[in-house]
Structure 1
């Protein structure tokens, strides 16, 4: 379970930071005694990015072999079901609230014993 939590956190991190890394034009600028050094941030990092990609691929294969096909399918179905539940509650919450209020108002009340 701890492993799946770590994988989920990494997936969320990559989901939110991935497009920013790809689409932004990062550049670095250094200032040394009236000399400016300027260059694009990722031009010198292609090797590191490739190594990190290989590491993530190896981690993904390790998770695949550890959890197995059935575990991955069950986890995927759980995530899809949870997403459908959350989207359904988000879509129908006014109706659920209205129904709960009506149910609470017309529910049979038990007499209180003294």
Structure 2
């Protein structure tokens, strides 16, 4: 994504994705954002939250269209987890960026087992 311009404010690529990643990782039942295999090394070295698996677009009404790919822990009700994730992401982006969110699409790529 190129620089995002919202109401006279320019955001560098990755800013919104980082906010989405942090919000998603705080949802109970989410094991990782993006591919767990790809994000493993990055998390070992304590880098900023992985933004792999997050796509941001702007629709014709200047609202954000967000898609996020996650791995989840076994035992959670997937529709409920997805609803919680959509709400957490939309709330975080609205409060921290001030942007309206048109939609948050959740893709569950895998299930991890605790232990």
TM over 0.5: no
Structure-1-length-normalised TM-score: 0.26
Higher fraction of helix: 1
Structure-2-length-normalised TM-score: 0.25
Higher fraction of strand: 2
| Larger Rg belongs to | 1
The answer to which structure, 1 or 2, has the higher relative contact order (CA under 8 A, 6+ apart) is 2
